Amino acid sequence: MSVSLRAFKIGLYEEHLEEIAFLHDQCVVLRADPARPWQDPASFEARLEAHLDALVVGGALALDVGRARAAQAEPGELFGIAALWCRVEAADPLRKLLEAPPIDDEQARALEQALLLEWPSGWMTPGLRLLAQGDTRLAPIFAGVAGTRGWPARDGLQRALARATDHTVLARLLGCVGASGDSGAPVTAWYEHPDDAVRHAALAAGLRMHDAEARRLALRPDAEPLLHALAGGRQSVNALLDRVNGAQTQPSVLSALGQLGDLRAVRVLLDVLPHAPLAGAAALALHLMTGADMREQALVPEAVNEDELFDAERQRWRERGEVPRRADGQPFGERVDRIPQAPEAWSQWLAEHRSQFQAALRYRLGEPCSPAVSLRSLAAGALPAFCRTSLADDLAARYGVRGGWLPALTVARQWSALRSMAGATQTSPGEAGRWHWAGNALAD
């Protein structure tokens, strides 16, 4: 039976959407895996881009296919449909989608990603209007769009913040404040907020905008460790070292010590490496300071779920703590490539490279920390997303270097944002190896 040209094209566009859905889902998994280099999704993103280009070429019929499938679309497919509508500036179907967005969390995240990446540059005014309306669903999306595009979003952010009541939404909005040079909005009202996430986001935003009151609050002895990492110097290192308590240490204390880069923390980090729950944070902190070029293949055992065990396995687990094993005798789990966590490996490396470091300096990836070195650390492949977000805050707070960078952007867009920030690191004041804040060297 012959197939009409129209039916053939419809089938072709449906296949493009299905491929986009598959590739989008792969990217989501890779971005969420802290053991994966942040550049890993690049090849999937390039293939996704090719399928999206094909739908753009498909014109009106491809748009009709998107409209027909939108209501029942899986998350990845919805990403493709929304991205297509943005790219060809199909305002009517996109407006209807925003008026009644998907309820499913995964669909909502897919829609957010499409709008962040593809919202048309010519639609700045409606984007700022959607931000200012303070809609719980849409305001955080357009705050992110504004921050990465450099829109003059100050007024819109201020109105959205005033209308936000949900703590999660409020924290997300505050996280977008100061992302670009013109998007700052007053955030002092949330510096003492009872919700931890809101308070941290507000103070981090204030630090990026060089507010002295934010710095005073961030350096209180009981302040969140990563706030000390954004604003402190030797005194913060001392305060955080006092908060190290063996296996009871908060992982965020170790992360903050790594970001501060004071070599006095090395011995403490080595001491907590044997404590399994802290080993990853301690190894990452050591790598962030030293830049040690070491990797290891390790088996990460699966968490034990007693309901899934056979009777004999359950008995061995309860009586002797013995985990189930495969036929080759190895525990069930996943092999990962990671920064080494063995104290012996780190002790040997540090002994061999001791002469490369000076005790009085602050280090990042093995070099005395400076604006340019800090920017290069954002490009380092071994650092997970949460760490890179804090490093971007560090660049803005300490040296005034900002840019339209978010870890949710595609790899290509992240590289573009990092390149655009490179010029600012050349002109930003900052003596290598010293602690700074707001472009000024700290006395401590």
Q: Which of 118, 143, 161 is the last residue of a domain?
A: 118
Tokens of 436: 């700074």
CA 77 to chain centre: 23
pLDDT value, residue 99: 87
Same domain, 259 and 388: yes
Same domain, 324 and 423: no
Q: Which residue's entry shows tokens 């920390």?
A: 369
Please report, in angstroms and rounded to a whole number, the separation of the first and last CA atoms in the chain. 81
For residue 309, the enclosing domain spans 296-338
Q: What's the whole-number mean pLDDT along residues 332-343?
A: 80
Same domain, 12 and 89: yes
pLDDT value, residue 299: 66
Amino acid type, 161: L
Same domain, 252 and 310: no
Task: Write the CB contacts of 103 (distance below 8 Å, at least 6 apart in sequence).
Answer: none
271 found inside a domain: yes
E strand or H helix at 364, and its extent?
strand 363-364
With 90 as the cut, is the pLDDT of residue 305 above it?
Answer: no
Of the pLDDT bands very low, low, confident and very high (cuts 50, 70, 90), residue 324 is confident
The answer to whether the beta carbons of residues 207 and 215 sit under 8 Å apart is yes
Same domain, 404 and 310: no
pLDDT value, residue 191: 96
Q: Report pLDDT digits (tens) over 157-201.
A: 999 999 999 999 999 999 888 776 566 778 999 999 999 999 999
E strand or H helix at 441, and its extent?
strand 440-441
Tell me how far apart the alpha carbons of residues 47 and 45 are, in angstroms, rounded to a whole number.
5
E strand or H helix at 337, and its extent?
strand 333-338
42 found inside a domain: yes
400 found inside a domain: yes
Tokens of 47: 């293939």
170 found inside a domain: no
The answer to whether the beta carbons of residues 362 and 261 sit under 8 Å apart is yes
Q: Which residue's entry shows tokens 């936000």?
A: 164
Tell me how far apart the alpha carbons of residues 35 and 24 are, in angstroms, rounded to a whole number.
19
Q: How far is CA 115 from CA 41, 97, 105, 337, in A?
A: 19, 12, 15, 33
Same domain, 318 and 272: no
Tokens of 236: 């913060």
pLDDT value, residue 225: 96
Q: Report pLDDT digits (tens) over 27-63.
A: 999 988 877 889 999 999 999 999 999 999 999 999 9
Determine how many CB atoms are found less than 10 A away from the CB of residue 408. 17
pLDDT value, residue 419: 93
Buried b (16+ CB within 10 A) or exposed e, 301-321: eeebeeeebeeebeebeeeee
Tokens of 410: 């595609």
Q: What's the whole-number mean pLDDT along residues 261-270?
A: 96
Same domain, 286 and 433: yes
In this prediction, what percent of the chain has a pLDDT beyond 70?
Answer: 93
Q: Which residue's entry shows tokens 């996109």?
A: 94
Same domain, 333 and 415: no
Alpha helix ranges (H) inside 177-262: 196-208, 212-218, 225-231, 234-241, 251-260
Q: Which residue's entry shows tokens 């920017």?
A: 375
The answer to whether the beta carbons of residues 377 and 365 sit under 8 Å apart is yes
Tell me how far apart the alpha carbons of residues 302 and 46 are, in angstroms, rounded to a whole number.
33
Question: DSSP code of 190?
Answer: G
Length of the chain: 444
E strand or H helix at 437, and its extent?
strand 436-437
Q: Which of 99, 118, 137 is the last residue of a domain?
A: 118
163 found inside a domain: no
219 found inside a domain: no
pLDDT value, residue 431: 84
The answer to whether the beta carbons of residues 285 and 393 sit under 8 Å apart is no
User: How many domains does the chain divide into?
Assistant: 3
Q: What's the whole-number mean pLDDT along residues 120-139?
A: 92
Ramachandran angles phi, psi of 328, nearest 5°: -85, 5
Same domain, 377 and 282: yes
Q: What's the whole-number mean pLDDT along residues 64-87?
A: 94
Q: What's the whole-number mean pLDDT along residues 21-28?
A: 96
Q: Which residue's entry shows tokens 């009586």?
A: 319
Q: Report pLDDT digits (tens) over 186-240.
A: 899 999 999 999 999 999 999 999 999 999 999 998 899 999 999 999 999 999 9
The answer to whether the beta carbons of residues 290 and 363 sit under 8 Å apart is yes
Same domain, 301 and 427: no
In this prediction, what percent of the chain has a pLDDT beyond 90?
Answer: 67
Same domain, 365 and 431: yes
Tell me how far apart the alpha carbons of residues 190 and 215 are, in angstroms, rounded to a whole number.
14
Of the pLDDT bands very low, low, confident and very high (cuts 50, 70, 90), residue 1 is very low
- What is the pTM (predicted TM-score) of this model? 0.86
Determine how many CB atoms are found less than 10 A away from the CB of residue 384. 17
With 80 as the cut, is the pLDDT of residue 333 above it?
Answer: no
- In 3D space, the residue among 177, 136, 179, 180 whose CA is nearest the CA of residue 158 turns out to be 177
Question: DSSP code of 302?
Answer: P
Q: Report pLDDT digits (tens) over 350-371.
A: 999 999 999 999 999 999 999 9
Tell me how far apart the alpha carbons of residues 385 and 34 are, in angstroms, rounded to a whole number.
7
With 90 as the cut, is the pLDDT of residue 129 above it?
Answer: yes
Burial class (CB within 10 angstroms; exposed 0-12, middle 13-18, buried 19+) of 444? exposed
168 found inside a domain: no
Q: Which of 84, 99, 118 is the last residue of a domain?
A: 118
Same domain, 55 and 5: yes
190 found inside a domain: no
Tokens of 265: 């923390």
Grouping H, G, I as helix, E, B as strand and the rest as coil, residue 44 is helix
Tell me how far apart the alpha carbons of residues 413 and 272 are, in angstroms, rounded to a whole number.
37
Tokens of 311: 């009777």
- In 3D space, the residue among 396, 416, 419, 435 whose CA is nearest the CA of residue 204 turns out to be 396
